[in-house]
Amino acid sequence: MIRINKYIAKCGVCSRRKADELIQNGSISVNGSKVTDLGMMVDEEKDKVSIYDKELTLEEKKVYIMLNKPKGYVTTNDEQFGRDSTVDLIQEEARVYPIGRLDMYTEGLLLLTNDGDFANKLTHPKHDVEKVYVVKINGKVSEEQIEKLKVGVDIGDYITREAKVERKSSNLLQITISEGKNRQVRKMCEAVDLKVLELKRIQIGHLKLGDLPLGKYRYLTENEIKNI
């Protein structure tokens, strides 16, 4: 027996956290009956689990991809407004989904997989995986603004943790955070009256974007996967 959110993740649909959301909103059924119990256990061999009435099957091949996301692409598999999606850039038979998100106007390192456990290790708050961004600002950045970013700022519904902030030039910053709130780096900059012109993620944990061309992708090596 296996907990239902873990089974959904093993099927390559999404992470366990996202699976919990699907369960709570009534999108999941087991043997034809809708379920909302997050603690429900299912039999991998006997039970039939469906999402939006489509039966799920376990993925056999695990895929781990690093993409250098261009601007103009959304990081969702369920795009409803006709916008370009990052999954459209990936030529892979297995159904993969983005780990976390980058907003439409942010470039850089995005990981995609069909391994829910792997995704959970990178996104669950308890793991504190650091993410590094390069931010180009409209105008000069003061030392006072940098110090505020370092100690944490109010981004509307949340006060950010301490961050690492390095000045690269008068209007270029490198910001390292271990959280993953929606549009967090942009909101942090807005909170200290900085206007972001360009934003690029260059590192997640020990995984670095390096010289991977914009819009291109590569598969993670075995060592990179093991080190996660």
Q: What is the pLDDT along the chain (228 residues), one digit of tens a residue?
A: 999 998 998 887 888 888 999 999 999 999 999 999 999 999 988 899 999 988 988 766 889 999 999 999 998 766 556 788 999 999 987 888 899 889 999 999 999 998 888 998 898 878 889 999 999 999 999 999 999 999 999 999 899 999 999 999 999 999 999 998 889 999 999 999 999 999 999 999 999 999 999 999 999 999 999 888
Closest of 93, 101, 107 to residue 198, by C-alpha:
107
For the chain, count helices (H), then strands (E): 6, 15
Report how many domains make up the chain.
3
Same domain, yes or no, for 137 and 74?
A: no
Same domain, yes or no, for 102 and 134?
A: no
Q: If phi over 0 gives left and psi between -120 and 50 gives alpha, with beta otherwise, what is residue 156?
A: left
Same domain, yes or no, for 214 and 116?
A: yes
Same domain, yes or no, for 142 and 174?
A: yes
Which amino acid is it at 140?
K
Q: What is the pTM of this model?
A: 0.75
Same domain, yes or no, for 73 and 116?
A: yes
How far apart, in whole angstroms, are the C-alpha atoms of residue 160 and residue 80?
Answer: 31
Same domain, yes or no, for 174 and 109?
A: no
Catalytic residue check, 103: yes
Q: Which of 43, 84, 88, 103 is catalytic?
A: 103
Find the domain containing 40 and state its range: 2-55
CATH assignment at residue 134: 3.30.70.1560
How far apart, in whole angstroms, are the C-alpha atoms of residue 200 and residue 105?
Answer: 9
